[in-house]
Amino acid sequence: MKKILFMVLLGFVGGASLYAQNVDQGKRFFYYQRYNSAKDVLEKLVASNPNNLDAVYWLGQTEIEMKDSAAAKDLYQKTFANNGSAPLILVGIGHIELKEGKKNDATQRFETAISLSKNKDINVVNAVARAIVDAAGGDPQYAIQKLNASGAGKDNKNAESYVLMGDAYFKVPDGGAAVTAYQKALQLDPKMAAAKYETARVYLTQGNAEYFLPAFEEATQIDPNYAPAFYQLYYYWYNRDINKAKAYLDKYQAVADKKPSDDYDRISILYAAKDYQGAINAAKAKITELGDKADPRYYKLTAYSYDESGDSTNAKTYLDQYFTKQTQDAFVPLDYVFRAKLLSKFPGNETDALQSFQKAVDLDTAMKSKMDLMADAAAFAGKIGNRTEQANWLGQIYRTKKDPTNRDLYDWGYANYQAKNYQTADSIFCGIYSQKYPSELFGYLWCARSAAAQDTTMEKGLAVEPYKRLIVFADTARDKYKATLLSAHSYLAGYYANVAKQKDSAVASLQKILELDPDNKDAQAYILALTKPAPKQTAPATKTPATKGTTTKPAARRTGNG
């Protein structure tokens, strides 16, 4: 009997070990972003035991990554009906609620799950952090707080916790803290390629190829099966070195799940190789073959290829179809940039083009590329003569930059001046530039000009004080700013002479002009006119009334010889 019991227990332990290994296999596929393989493994586990809560949780996460949140929601809710106090399932439901914008409900789920596990199950806390990092409305500081509270900041030996903490810091965004967390993960598990991969992504958002390229390479060396790093390298070299791009694509497809997008990537190589007609033919063949199931990107690829071939009309036709067929969460910033530039080729679409630039900026999470997009939008607005929009974009650049330069501020102010937004230009040059850069001419100069533009008749005298401040500054380097001083003194002379009726002040300004330009004929003439004595007023002759009965003789006419 004891022997039988021992064998039963041994079988149970062995079965449990195999059971756990299968769940771990699904998780491993998930880690490698091989979601089709993960789903296959986890679906079988859940089918054999719907109460396998680990398998249910990870299957739901896989569905979310495969853009099927509805399937994940259905799975979690069905499981929750029979397992209402299962922490991981609670977190899964909270994850869905967070994606649906129900932040308070999600937070309550998370708190309950952590409480039920007595804040001792790091897998539950990791699941909370994973949900927050994934959902757009997730609060990364909350994730960091929970990870620290459960030991991730001190004694936790779970490398995944530090990757998730890095992801949360990345979302803040705090790139430095994110990299530190990823480094800690690698210390705990030197084979965790995901930590090096995420480090590379931090540098990628900064546009720092000197750091992100080696980091992606290191990720592939740490684990040659880590497909996402190969894909990033393929994507980087796509428009730079077609042979390198092909090599990385081969390596990626060798370790990734087979999927329909593999064909798209292969066909897109034709475009990168400048075989535009080949790309058009291959993409159209796929559209014909797959019909409504065709990857929407085939339409985009066709549009790009037509555009490069000089056929903007067909390019627009296919791009319009792409925007109709693609799901909203699958658009990338460059989709909107391409749309904006393509629309600009067709008169009457300028407003839509500018709106597309805005969508691209809103969608981009990398600060450097976001700034580049704003600069492109400002340049585009200037090109089409929309000074108001140009000023708007330059203002966004100034406000978004961590350390904006004096040129950024000048461009913003000058664009508003050109757009005739004189009050805004005034506030920029008078209120910011001249105070922030008191040793530079431009703030004083454009402050005065912006004020003058608001008072073209000079009646309000808005530009008088700004021009006086400009003169004080420019007088420190008369030879350098001679033309500016001449213009400023001329303005004040005109104001004093014509509006304020202060001749002495007008003459003083004109004399300043002569100090700078002694041969200035206009200044000389105006001084003469202002200082010339007024002609004496002679009293009109009094006419003596004629006496009644007398006749007044006419005066003798003066002749030419006197």
pLDDT (0 to 100) of residue 366: 77
Q: Measure the CA–CA gap between 209 and 369, rounded to whole angstroms.
A: 13
Q: Does domain 196-259 have CATH number 1.20.140.10?
A: no
Domain ranges of the chain: 196-259, 418-529
Categorize the per-residue pLDDT at 8 as very low, low, confident or very high, splitting at 50, 70 and 90: very low
Q: Which residues contact 11 (CB under 8 A, 6 or more apart)?
A: none
Indicate whether 18 pLDDT > 70.
Answer: no
- 10 Å CB burial of residue 249 (0-12, 13-18, 19+) is buried
Helices (H), 206-349: 209-222, 227-237, 242-255, 261-272, 276-290, 297-308, 312-325, 333-343
Would residue 189 be called left, alpha or beta, if left means φ above 0 and alpha means ψ between -120 and 50 degrees? Answer: beta
Indicate whether 466 pLDDT > 80.
Answer: yes
Give ∠ CA 540-546-549 in degrees, rounded to 5: 170
pLDDT (0 to 100) of residue 359: 93
Indicate whether 193 pLDDT > 60.
Answer: yes
pLDDT (0 to 100) of residue 537: 66
pLDDT (0 to 100) of residue 66: 94
Domain 418-529 in the same topology as domain 196-259: yes
Q: Measure the CA–CA gap between 110 and 494, rounded to whole angstroms.
A: 73
Q: Which residue has the higher pLDDT, 280 or 370?
A: 280
The 10s digit of each residue's pLDDT in 467-517 is 999 999 999 999 999 999 999 999 999 999 999 999 999 999 999 999 999
Which three-class secondary structure state does DSSP give residue 89? helix
Q: What is the mean pLDDT of the chain?
A: 90
DSSP per residue, 19-73: HHHHHHHHHHHHHTT-HHHHHHHHHHHHHH-TT-HHHHHHHHHHHHHTT-HHHHH
Q: Which segments of 118-217 are extended strands (E)?
A: none
What's the residue count for the chain? 562
Q: Measure the CA–CA gap between 197 and 220, rounded to whole angstroms.
A: 9
CATH superfamily, domain at 418-529 = Tetratricopeptide repeat domain (1.25.40.10)
Residue 461: DSSP 8-state = -
The 10s digit of each residue's pLDDT in 375-409 is 999 999 998 899 999 999 999 999 999 899 999 99
Categorize the per-residue pLDDT at 557 as very low, low, confident or very high, splitting at 50, 70 and 90: very low
Categorize the per-residue pLDDT at 9 as very low, low, confident or very high, splitting at 50, 70 and 90: very low
pLDDT (0 to 100) of residue 329: 84
CB-based contact 226:194 (threshold 8 Å): yes
Categorize the per-residue pLDDT at 47 as very low, low, confident or very high, splitting at 50, 70 and 90: very high
Averaged over 302-329, what is the pLDDT?
96
Categorize the per-residue pLDDT at 281 as very low, low, confident or very high, splitting at 50, 70 and 90: very high
Categorize the per-residue pLDDT at 206 as very low, low, confident or very high, splitting at 50, 70 and 90: confident
pLDDT (0 to 100) of residue 118: 86
Indicate whether 2 pLDDT > 50.
Answer: no
The 10s digit of each residue's pLDDT in 143-154 is 999 999 875 445
CB-based contact 228:33 (threshold 8 Å): yes
Handedness of CA 300, 302, 305, 306 (dihedral sign): negative
Categorize the per-residue pLDDT at 541 as very low, low, confident or very high, splitting at 50, 70 and 90: low
pLDDT (0 to 100) of residue 533: 83
Indicate whether 547 pLDDT > 50.
Answer: no
Q: Measure the CA–CA gap between 373 and 361, rounded to whole angstroms.
A: 6
Closest to 445 in 3D by CA, of 419, 420, 421, 417: 417
pLDDT (0 to 100) of residue 259: 87
Closest to 31 in 3D by CA, of 140, 188, 191, 141: 191
Q: Measure the CA–CA gap between 343 and 360, rounded to whole angstroms.
A: 14
